[in-house]
Amino acid sequence: MIYCSVTDVRNALAQGESSDTNTAADMSDTIIEDAIAEAGAVIDSYVGGPYGSNDYVPGVIQYWCRDVGAYLATLTWRKSKDLTSQDPVVLRYLMTLQLLQDVRDDLLVIASPGNGLGPDGGDAGPPDIDPTVVNSFPPASQVPLFVEWDYDLYGAGTRMNARSGRPFPYWGGKSRSDAPADTGKAFAVLDPGPPGG
């Protein structure tokens, strides 16, 4: 499916310039249209099929088609010579590809093909899709994010000894004999008993 125009791709490659841009924007309309058609097929493969004529097509699809089309046109223009990783065309392509992967993996929700809402979203306008929070961290039962020795649980400048599991005095990197006399902190260590007991 065609989701953007040749002008969209040309503007992404060389905005405001009409000729001799020394980019893929200098190629013929036919070659850019082929890149756009291929970009549409790539997008369709990630979103679950082409949008029909009676479907609402999210606006972001046009930008994704433009970015993928610009990348594919650039590969044709460069005769498949390597691009640098910091090339703006590559950066846009990689960003778009990441978003398409998020759509495929249900981490990013957009109106899907076959929604039947009409090109303008129907009477209600574009579909109201609630944002979804996806937590990429494993549950705390699998991997604890913090352990007790990350905190001064016993007060008075003590820290937990990771090896023995018991608190020890901590004076900001100094030993007890180097601690200033006027800290007002007692050097008492509470013994909670054996770890886990």
pLDDT tens for each residue of 19-45: 778 888 889 999 999 999 999 999 999
Give pLDDT, residue 91. Answer: 94
Residue with tokens 């007060």: 155
Burial 72-94, CB ≥16 within 10 A → b, else e: bbbbebeeeeeeeeeeebeebbe
Residue 120 located in a structural domain: no
In a domain, 132, yes or no: no
- Same domain for 15 and 88: yes
Instruction: Please count the structural domains in the chain.
Output: 2
The residue-averaged pLDDT of 123-135 equals 56
CA distance 31 to 37: 10
DSSP type of residue 194: S
Please state the pTM of the whole predicted model: 0.62
Domain that includes residue 149, residue range: 137-197
Instruction: Give, in degrees to the nearest 5, the angle at Cα 83 between 28 and 9.
Output: 35
Nearest in space to 110 (alpha carbons), one of 91, 131, 89, 84: 131
Per-residue pLDDT at 175: 46
Distance CA 6, CA 34 (A): 10
Percentage of the chain surpassing pLDDT 90?
A: 30
- Of residues 74, 48, 58, the one with CA closest to residue 3: 58
